[in-house]
Amino acid sequence: MTIQNLSITQKITALGSIIAICVAVLIGLTSLHNSKNIIEQRMIESELPSKLQTISNHIGGEINELLGAAQQLSANTFILDWANSGNTNDALLLKELNRLVEQYDLATASWANKNTAQYWNQDGFLRVLKNDAADGWFFAFTQSKQPYSISIYQESENDVKMFVNHQQPNGFGLAGLAKSITDMQKLLQQFKIEQSGFVFIADKNGLIQLHKDAAKVAKVNIDSIYSANIHNKLLDENGFALEEVNINGQATLIAATPIKNTDLFVLAQVPKSEVFASVNTLEWQIFTFTIITALIASVISYLLARSLASPLSKMAELFSRLGRGDANLAYRLPTSPQPELNNLTSGFNQFIEKIETAIVQVADESHGIRQSSDHVFAQAKQNSLALDKQKEQTISVAAAINEMGATVQEIAQSAANAAKLTNDSRDNTKQSHQQVLQSQTTISALASDIDGITEQVALLSK
């Protein structure tokens, strides 16, 4: 079926549907593009940093709470006075350490004398620390002059702790609070980004400090997981940073934000598709909206096309009835509330009225012509009768004329014979006249001869 074969209703419906679909698709694509940009911008610049900052604040709050407690412990004047007194009764120190363990749900609370390297935990005096593999952290920390340090220490295969240490830069007190990695991991697992995203903690060099996979703690650097030197790009002390990497063929976003007052960073790993899942949802919503809009527009176009084509259909029906011979010129199209269609129906009705008036006039004139024709037919019939009589008379005259013709022919034959005789007589007369002329010539010649002879005689006689 070609376009020319489509009805007006079908054409208007198709045109309206195509326009609606094009407009809906254009608006949908524009909206999708703008919305995608807005969502991406919001997710990357607002929501993800805000969410990560919230996690950082929460975890940082836990760590900073331990840092605060460690700072108070290292600078506790009662403990410092006790250490300076040389009193071997450590009940005051143990009481304070056990209070901190209970208050902060710690695995270990410890205090050390930087000057003597004596080391206590909540259970009592442990040992004098030595600068070896096991206790090297203590001497490295005291020599660094840093006020605090956060480190992971594995005392046994299943005993991994995070130590938050604080020392007096100008004193001899050093406190260390340890929390079980299991407890910290439970804390990390409370935070979930989208569907499968998770968070972990690494130090400024990229070494993982807390992770849901305990096998990676203090052993794996983020450079080996994602890409070389990625920690230089991600671990920015000034604030939020984001990188996109490919993990097992899946685009993944890695974000990092620093934990306040520490050298640690909270990192988040989340598939990019999950971050922008709302965009995919929006795509389907816009697609559905486009389909619904197109359907509604098609229905509206169809109804509009029917309303526009209705007067034309009625006129077509009327002309069809006129063509079949059962036309009723008294039929009129109803008026339409639409000005254009109302003008059309009004003009059509006026046209039909003029046709009806013309046909009535033609009918009246035809009736008059019929009457005149009947009168002429009657006269023609009378003339026919008269002509029949004339025909009979003409036949009689013709017979008489035929007889007269025969007589005339006889007369003509006689005249011809007379003419022939006349011609013969005239020829004979001509011959006689010729003979007379010849005789006259002969006589004249003879007379001339006689005159000559006479003259000669006369001459002779003289």
Higher pLDDT, 29 or 271: 271
Mean pLDDT of 337-350: 71
Burial of 129 (0-12, 13-18, 19+ CB in 10 A): buried
How far apart, in whole angstroms, are the C-alpha atoms of residue 134 and residue 138? 9
Higher-scoring residue by pLDDT: 32, 222: 222
Q: Is the pTM of this model over 0.85?
A: no
pLDDT at 109: 94
User: 439 forms bridges with which residues in the sheet?
Assistant: none
pLDDT band at 188 (very low <50, low <70, confident <90, very high): confident
Closest CA to 218 of 133, 152, 263: 152
DSSP H helical segments within 325-338, as ranges?
none
Which residue reads 């109804």 in tokens? Answer: 303
In which band, very low, low, confident or very high, does the pLDDT at 114 lie, cut at 50, 70 and 90?
very high
| Cα distance between residue 440 and residue 430, in whole Å | 15
Question: What integer pLDDT is reported at residue 119 of this predicted model?
Answer: 94
113 band by pLDDT with thresholds 50, 70 and 90:
very high
Q: Out of 147-151, 187-191, 293-297, give the one with best mean pLDDT.
A: 147-151
Alpha carbons 96 and 98: distance in angstroms, whole number: 6
What gap in Å lies between CA 416 and CA 422, rounded to an integer? 9
Q: Where are the beta strands (DSSP E) in 129-249?
A: 148-156, 159-167, 173-180, 198-203, 208-210, 241-247
How many Å is the Cα radius of gyration of the chain? 70
pLDDT digits (tens, 9 = 90+) for 115-152: 999 999 999 999 999 988 888 888 999 998 889 888 77
Phi and psi (nearest 5°) for 102? -70, -40
What's 259's DSSP letter? Answer: P
**Residue 211 pLDDT greater than 60, yes or no:** yes
Rounded to 5 degrees, what are φ and ψ at 106? -90, 155
Question: Quick one: pLDDT at residue 5?
Answer: 64
User: Under a CB-based contact definition with an 8 Å cutoff, are residues 70 and 146 in contact?
Assistant: no
